[in-house]
């Protein structure tokens, strides 16, 4: 895999460099609530611009179903990128049409343009190779060189991620090089003890990675909505908590295999419950109570780890040498149910371990809860991509960058 440093050594002045970034930021209307992904790709874009490239930045945002939708416009991301670069950034209101061609043609050396949301074109996400390829052909007309730096999308076989690199000289940007280097530390020559913290809503989203980690991790800590399927699999009642009944046999098999292999599975010993899911807009008090994990009352919903679980999990992370965390421990967006997620983040800050926060809601939680990002070994920009890498899957966007 060639890197951007090799490209810069070859010279990029005057060349149109297509940067597939991940600007898929959360929006409240047109206000960006977390610009972490924009800041993550900034070093690649800035370095190319400084070297005189004419930088064409492309990304997806949300799931607009292959047609333009103002709610998913990249305009706010383009504006924020300009603020961070301290320079004007041109914005094209389409992907490969008249506006995109004009924006790229108007670039001088060292200038940057952002084209509109790639997923406004059905060819970007099409499962038909010919349709994807046709869109990739149109994108290729906008550039001379391709730089892949959208790690959050490398697990997708999409036109701008998989097909376009085959049509242009291609290189990995700084973010992808960093992400892959970090993930290798979680899969080869891992420093032990190796602890994994998994949360989030659905256990079905994590089955593949749990299966893979049973062969590699020393201990696995479970939280979030998925914990209640584990507790149910152990024979406990879980009230009205999120539950995937159809996954109970798989979970029971994982618990059996973990015991057989000597992998420590750690589940909540107490949980914070409430009668209903909280209002995340008003943040109105949700009247939580704390109960033992094996004594959840009927009609109560588990929404966070309890204080004893927080202490237990901190102790299980204190002596780890490597930690991977993906998924919050509760509904961290509401103050009544943020303590479990905060406790895991604090435990990683306090631990001497090499800690990796696996993107998605975990990365958002770290920022929302006010932690210093530099206190962690690495905060990934791609939760789904990180999980699939740890499952041992081939990621299309990484494969496309290989020569």
Average pLDDT over residues 140-169: 97
Is residue 129 scored above 90 in pLDDT? yes
Asked if the domains at 4-177 and 187-391 fall in one CATH topology, the answer is yes
Determine which helix (DSSP H) or strand (DSSP E) holds 77, and give its type and residue range. Answer: helix 75-85
Q: What is the pLDDT at residue 283?
A: 93
Asked about 384 being catalytic, the answer comes back as yes
Q: Which sequence spans correspond to the domains of the chain?
A: 4-177, 187-391
Catalytic residue among 167, 202, 216, 367: 202
Average pLDDT over residues 273-295: 95
Q: Are 351 and 317 in contact (CB under 8 A)?
A: yes
Whole-number Cα distances in Å, 161 to 179, 180, 264: 16, 16, 38
Taking the C-alpha atoms of residue 403 and residue 399, their distance in angstroms, rounded to an integer, is 9
Compute how many other C-beta atoms are within 10 angstroms of the C-beta atom of residue 230: 23
- 65/44: higher pLDDT: 44
Q: What is the pLDDT at residue 176?
A: 96
Taking the C-alpha atoms of residue 389 and residue 109, their distance in angstroms, rounded to an integer, is 36
Catalytic residue among 16, 37, 157, 232: 37
As a dihedral over the C-alpha atoms of residue 253, residue 256, residue 258, residue 264, rounded to 10 degrees, the angle is: 120
Domain 187-391 has CATH 3.40.50.1260: yes
Q: Which of 57-71, 262-276, 326-340, 350-364 has the lowest mean pLDDT?
A: 350-364
Q: Are 321 and 354 in contact (CB under 8 A)?
A: yes
Average pLDDT over residues 261-282: 96
Catalytic residue among 360, 382, 383, 397: 360
Average pLDDT over residues 97-102: 98
Catalytic residue among 133, 327, 383, 384: 384
Q: What is the mean pLDDT of the chain?
A: 95
362 is in an annotated binding site: yes
Tokens of 391: 């499952």
80 is in an annotated binding site: no
Is residue 403 scored above 80 in pLDDT? no
Model confidence at 254, pLDDT cuts 50, 70, 90, reads: very high
Is residue 126 scored above 80 in pLDDT? yes
Is residue 356 scored above 90 in pLDDT? yes
- Match domain 4-177 to its CATH number in 1.10.3720.10, 3.30.460.10, 3.40.225.10, 3.40.50.1260: 3.40.50.1260
What would the pLDDT profile of 287-338 be if each residue is shown by its tens digit? 999 999 999 999 999 999 999 999 999 999 999 999 999 999 999 999 999 9
Name the most confidently modeled range: 21-35, 118-132, 207-221: 118-132
Per DSSP bridges, beta strands 16-20 and 145-148 are parallel
Q: What is the pLDDT at residue 205?
A: 86
Is residue 364 scored above 90 in pLDDT? no
Q: Is the peptide bond before 95 cis (omega within 30 degrees of 0)?
A: no
Per DSSP bridges, beta strands 289-292 and 264-266 are unpaired
Q: Are 349 and 245 in contact (CB under 8 A)?
A: no
Cβ contacts of 6 within 8 Å, gap of 6 or more: 171
Handedness of CA 365, 368, 370, 374 (dihedral sign): positive
SS3 of residue 381 by DSSP: coil
Average pLDDT over residues 252-265: 95
Average pLDDT over residues 84-111: 98
Note the helical H segments in 238-326.
248-261, 307-318
183 is in an annotated binding site: no
**What is this structure's pTM?**
0.87
Residue of 129, 130, 131, 141 lying closest to 167 (CA atoms): 141
Model confidence at 360, pLDDT cuts 50, 70, 90, reads: confident
23 is in an annotated binding site: yes
Q: What percent of the chain has pLDDT over 90?
A: 87
24 is in an annotated binding site: yes
Asked about 256 being catalytic, the answer comes back as no
Q: What is the pLDDT at residue 91?
A: 98
374 is in an annotated binding site: no
Is residue 208 scored above 90 in pLDDT? no
Q: What is the pLDDT at residue 172?
A: 98
Is residue 381 scored above 90 in pLDDT? no
Asked about 37 being catalytic, the answer comes back as yes
Q: What is the pLDDT at residue 334?
A: 96
Q: What is the pLDDT at residue 272?
A: 98
Q: What is the pLDDT at residue 390?
A: 87
Average pLDDT over residues 255-280: 96
Rg of the chain's alpha carbons, rounded to an integer? 22
């Amino acid at each position: 895999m060639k890197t951007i440093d090799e490209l810069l050594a070859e010279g990029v002045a005057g060349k149109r460099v297509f940067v597939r970034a991940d600007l898929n930021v959360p929006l409240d209307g047109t206000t960006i609530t977390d610009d972490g992904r924009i800041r993550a790709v900034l070093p690649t874009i800035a370095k190319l611009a400084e070297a005189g490239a004419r930088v064409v930045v492309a990304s997806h945002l949300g799931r607009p179903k292959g047609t333009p939708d103002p709610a998913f416009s990249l305009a706010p991301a383009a504006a924020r990128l300009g603020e961070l670069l301290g320079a004007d950034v041109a914005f094209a209101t389409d992907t490969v049409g008249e506006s995109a061609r004009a924006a790229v043609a108007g670039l001088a050396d060292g200038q940057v343009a952002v084209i509109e949301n790639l997923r406004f074109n059905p060819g970007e996400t099409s499962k038909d190779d010919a349709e994807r390829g046709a869109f990739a052909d149109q994108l290729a007309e906008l550039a001379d060189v391709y730089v892949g730096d959208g790690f959050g999308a490398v697990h997708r076989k999409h036109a701008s991620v998989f097909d376009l690199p085959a049509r242009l000289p291609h290189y990995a940007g700084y973010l992808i090089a960093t992400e892959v280097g970090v993930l290798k530390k979680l899969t080869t020559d891992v420093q032990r003890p190796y602890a994994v913290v998994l949360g989030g809503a659905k256990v079905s989203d994590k089955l593949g990675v749990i299966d893979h980690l049973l062969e590699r991790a020393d201990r696995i800590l479970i939280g979030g909505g998925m914990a209640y399927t584990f507790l149910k699999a152990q024979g406990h009642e879980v009230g009205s908590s999120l539950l995937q009944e159809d996954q109970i046999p798989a979970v029971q098999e994982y618990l059996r295999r973990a015991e057989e292999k000597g992998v420590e599975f750690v589940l909540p010993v107490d949980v914070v419950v409430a009668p209903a899911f909280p209002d995340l807009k008003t943040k109105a008090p949700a009247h939580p109570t704390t109960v033992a994990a094996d004594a959840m009352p009927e009609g109560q919903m588990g929404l966070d780890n309890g204080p004893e679980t927080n202490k237990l999990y901190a102790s299980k992370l204190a002596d780890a040498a490597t930690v991977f965390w993906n998924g919050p421990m509760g509904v961290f967006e509401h103050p009544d149910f943020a303590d479990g997620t905060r406790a895991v983040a604090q435990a990683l800050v306090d631990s001497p371990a090499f800690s990796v926060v696996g993107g998605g809601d975990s990365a958002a939680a770290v920022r929302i809860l006010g932690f210093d990002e530099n206190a962690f070994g690495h905060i990934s920009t791609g939760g789904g991509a990180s999980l699939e890498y740890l499952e041992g899957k081939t990621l299309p966007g990484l494969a496309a960058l290989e020569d």
